[in-house]
A and B are shown apart, each in its own frame.
Chain A
Amino acid sequence: MKALAARRHHRFAPVVLLLLALLVTGGVYAVLAPGQARADSASTQDIETGKKLFQANCATCHGLDAQGTDNAPSLIGVGAAAVDFQVSTGRMPMAMDGPQAQTKPRQMTEEQTSQLAAYIASLGAGPAIPTDEQVDGSKGNPANGAEIFRTNCAMCHNATGQGGALSEGKYAPSLERTSARNIYQAMLTGPQSMPVFNDANITPDEKRDVIAYLEAQREGSAGGATLGSLGPVSEGVWAWVVGLGLLIGAAVWIGAKSS
């Protein structure tokens, strides 16, 4: 160490240090960087692994070759986007039968998901997983997104994306915590009860505007606490029960004799 310390003023010392720093940064990045888990760069090996994963986890309902059974639809031609949506939100593999598959902690890692997606995509052409650019809300126009959302989405998902009830126990989920990629994929593939909004109906730019609108809603309301943004029900309960209750309490206190 002494020898090293003695040379710290050497004129090549900065260069050596810089090279060392670059090497360390590059090495750490290479180890920690997320893998490019995208179906379009899928190798045949990914497809093979995906097929094995499918047969182990999905084939009971969707059939050995994803051709569908009485219990579950065919997955041929649904595309990588549908697989990524269903598996990354934890909806699939389904835990139990019910009115609809619900989100839960994801069962498959990112790598397994992309292998599954690669396998399903290899069975027939379908929508691909959107790129990061396509789902970047900061590049979208939230005002235009609001108009698209109001016409196409608000009737089920509520005007600010808080979700709402459908028939027989089904429901449109809240979009408050849904990732931009999943929002895009849901529009593209129409999971479960949700209809498909393909690129002719809502163009990719408009989909990004919708994401921008939904992300703008996450800042909350300028008016204060929102009571869940559920409309007249929660606000009415608050006004009639809490508001009137406080008024009645105040009237009783004013009228009561002091002890």
Chain B
Amino acid sequence: MSKTTDVTVPHPEGDLEHFQDPGIPEHRHRMADTDPKADKRAERQVVVLFTISVIGTIVALWAYFAIRPDGTTAGVRTSTMVLGLAIFFALAGIGVGAIHWAKTLMSDHEVVEDRHATRSPDDVREIAVQKLADGIKDSGIGRRGVLKGVVVSALALFPLTIAVPLISSVGGDWNVGTFRTTLWKKGTRLTYDPTGRPIKASDVTIGSAVHVIPEVTDEYRQSGEWISEKAKALVLMVRLDPRDFKPFAKGKENWTYDGIIAFSKICTHVGCPVALYEQQTHHLLCPCHQSTFDVADGAKVVFGPAKRPLPQLPITVDSEGYLVAQDGFDEPIGPSYWERLR
């Protein structure tokens, strides 16, 4: 490439700009090349390795018929384990054997193969160009404009059959408005997750943690909508000694009932279910990133990456003593998103 002959830097160790190609190192013979005993030993090792493979195959076939999974956990485990190990030895014997054979017994003399020039000779290039030109001329694409048009259209349109379904299914539902509301509204009964039994306030003892879902009809439970609505409406309800509460925030003084307090279970960080409740410290811990909320203090964040307290569900009891929601959540549940406060 560029010539650097005019730059000569004297150096105590000699000319650094140019050096001799040292070539390949001197050939070193292996033990099997010089010692007939080592050669025999290597051959025996290869034989053993391939024999291990044969035995592995036989054991695998035997295990397939003799050790059938009997339906119990232990039976399935034994069957899978024996089959897997046997197939491992059947394959590893071949692989290790072949490589050992190549490394110890096959010729190991170094060979140099020069790279040829990347550019083809001029006459070959001319022939290639001529062939392309002949093809274009033969197809008549230059004369028949309509043909050119349909070919280009067909090729350009075909990718839409793949692109349209792919792109339209990205993100599924683009209606972020559904994040604003949950199934909770005034008078919705609190029920046990997963059974759906309504919860009597008197049944919630101090120290209890109850996983709560809103009461819905059995038909709604069967509908596809339930699973995504349930994911938003999950609530964790606990009861603590009312004396343990820190003063309630303004406007939330009557959102609890006799020490029973309920919060959205969806973390305000990235939406994991926050459910590790330590009943002595009243701390609620998120298993994903260790955000910790203080239930006694309006679910204030006391540790971790969450930025907002968990939304509180205002609750009270109905005439029969069952816990009901006073209203829905007063803010969107779960993590932040652009349109959240709009």
- Which residue numbers of A lie inside 8 Å of B, CB to CB? 147-148, 151-152, 155-156, 164, 166-167, 170, 172, 190, 192-198, 200-201, 206, 219-224, 253-254, 257-259
Contact = CB atoms under 8 A, between A and B. Distances in A.
B279 A201 contact: no
A258 B77 contact: no
B48 interface: no
Interface stretch (B150-158, B199-207, B327-335): B199-207
A221 B77 contact: yes
A221 B75 CA distance: 11
Interface stretch (B125-133, B179-187, B208-216): B208-216
- Most A CB atoms within 10 A — which of B276, B281, B283, B303? B276
Given A192-B280, A201-B210, A259 B77 contact: no
Nearest to A254: B99
A39 to B, nearest CB: 20
B90 to A, nearest CB: 17
Contact of A220 (B31, B74, B199, B211): B74
A155 B287 contact: yes
Interface string B68-105: 00001110110011001000000000000001000110
A200 B205 CA distance: 9
Contact of B278 (A170, A197, A201): A170
Contacts of B287: 155, 164
Given A156-B276, A222-B80, A258-B108, A190 B194 contact: no
- Most A CB atoms within 10 A — which of B31, B32, B84, B210? B210
A190 B194 CA distance: 20
Contact of A198 (B31, B208, B283): B208
A156 B77 CA distance: 28
A81 to B, nearest CB: 13
Contact of A190 (B32, B72, B192, B207): B207
A47 to B, nearest CB: 25
Contacts of A170: 278
15 contacts: A152-B211, A164-B287, A166-B276, A167-B278, A190-B207, A193-B281, A195-B208, A200-B200, A201-B203, A201-B208, A220-B74, A223-B77, A224-B84, A258-B103, A259-B31
A193 B278 contact: yes
A155 B276 contact: yes
B298 interface: no
A224 B80 contact: yes
Given A170-B278, A259-B31, A223 B205 contact: no
